[in-house]
């Protein structure tokens, strides 16, 4: 196996631990993957293994057709969902599927999370939509997720959980954290009154500025 894939396996193993420690999943549920672009490969967490015991050798390497290339473990039962996202979105380099409490509550209610705080507008690019229900691990679920996700970076899975995507494992993880926080804010704000939602113009500007200016390796200018 080449060095890029081996490094990706290490990164995915660490991301799984990070996801569990952040309380975004319970037990062995949820899954994480990243793309190895130069090789047209995907590395993904194994099915049903505790994150705190994962080793890089447990991470499974597959082709974009879903064929196992390296690894002795069974890949996540949501492999097809990950593969379909990578095929549809060439910009996506990492996918994280979580079962966090507040985002899952919105998924059970089958209600989108509106862009009511700036960070969700910045990193998601608008409201977090809800994909139509289909059984976990099914091809229909993969289809529904890709259709609902569109060009945004997060989607709720009806009666299930959520998926966050990004240009890196760190960004996918941040997306999942921000969506969880936004879901919690939305539910709490509803107790105080009707939550105010950012306008489409405000969302577009916030998302553009995030993509263009946020972080150390993007264009200059006074941006937070």
Distance of CA 11 to the CA centre of its chain: 15
Task: Kindly report the three-state secondary structure assignment for every residue of 109-127.
Answer: HCCCECCCCHHHHHHHCCC
Please name which of 62, 19, 37, 32 lies closest in space to residue 174, comparing C-alpha atoms. Answer: 19
* Joined tokens for residue 8: 């990706």
Task: Give me the domains of the chain, ranges plus CATH numbers.
Answer: 3-213 (3.40.225.10)
37-92 per-position pLDDT tens digit: 888 999 999 999 999 999 999 999 999 999 999 999 999 999 999 999 999 999 99
**Total residue length of the chain:** 224
Indicate the helix (H) or strand (E) that contains 63.
strand 60-63
* Joined tokens for residue 149: 């996700």
Beta-bridge mates of residue 130 = 156
Rounded CA separation 181/212 (Å) = 24
* Joined tokens for residue 188: 């709490």
**Alpha-carbon distance values, 212 to 30, 160, 168, 205 (Å):** 31, 33, 16, 10
Please name which of 143, 118, 141 lies closest in space to residue 202, comparing C-alpha atoms. Answer: 118
Mean pLDDT of the 141-169 span: 97
For residue 94, with 0-12 CB atoms within 10 Å meaning exposed, 13-18 middle and 19 or more buried, which class applies? buried
What is the value of pTM for the model shown?
0.93
pLDDT band at 218 (very low <50, low <70, confident <90, very high): low
pLDDT band at 215 (very low <50, low <70, confident <90, very high): confident
Of the listed 70, 78, 171, 222, which one is catalytic?
78
78 in catalytic set: yes
Please name which of 207, 199, 100 lies closest in space to residue 151, comparing C-alpha atoms. Answer: 207
pLDDT for residue 219 = 59
Contact 203, 116 (CB under 8 A): no
């Amino acid at each position: 196996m080449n060095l890029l894939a081996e490094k990706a396996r290490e990164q995915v193993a660490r991301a799984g631990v990070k996801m569990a420690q952040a309380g975004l999943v319970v037990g062995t549920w949820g899954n994480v993957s990243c793309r190895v672009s130069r090789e047209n490969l995907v590395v993904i967490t194994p099915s049903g293994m505790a994150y705190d015991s994962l080793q890089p050798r447990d991470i499974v390497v597959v082709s974009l057709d879903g064929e196992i290339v390296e690894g002795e473990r069974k890949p996540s039962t949501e492999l097809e969902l990950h593969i379909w996202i990578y095929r549809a979105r060439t910009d996506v380099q990492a996918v994280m599927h979580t079962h966090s409490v507040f985002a899952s509550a919105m998924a059970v209610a089958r209600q989108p999370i509106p862009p009511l705080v700036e960070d969700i507008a910045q990193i998601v690019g608008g409201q977090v939509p809800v994909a139509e229900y289909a059984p976990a691990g099914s091809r229909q679920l993969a289809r529904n997720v890709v259709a609902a996700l569109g060009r945004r970076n997060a989607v709720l899975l009806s009666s299930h959980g959520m998926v966050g995507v990004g240009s890196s494992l760190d960004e996918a993880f941040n997306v999942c954290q921000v969506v969880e926080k936004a879901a919690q804010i939305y539910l709490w704000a509803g107790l105080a009154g009707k939550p105010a939602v950012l306008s489409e113009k405000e969302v577009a500007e916030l998302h553009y500025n995030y993509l263009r200016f946020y972080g150390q390796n993007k264009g200059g200018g006074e941006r937070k």
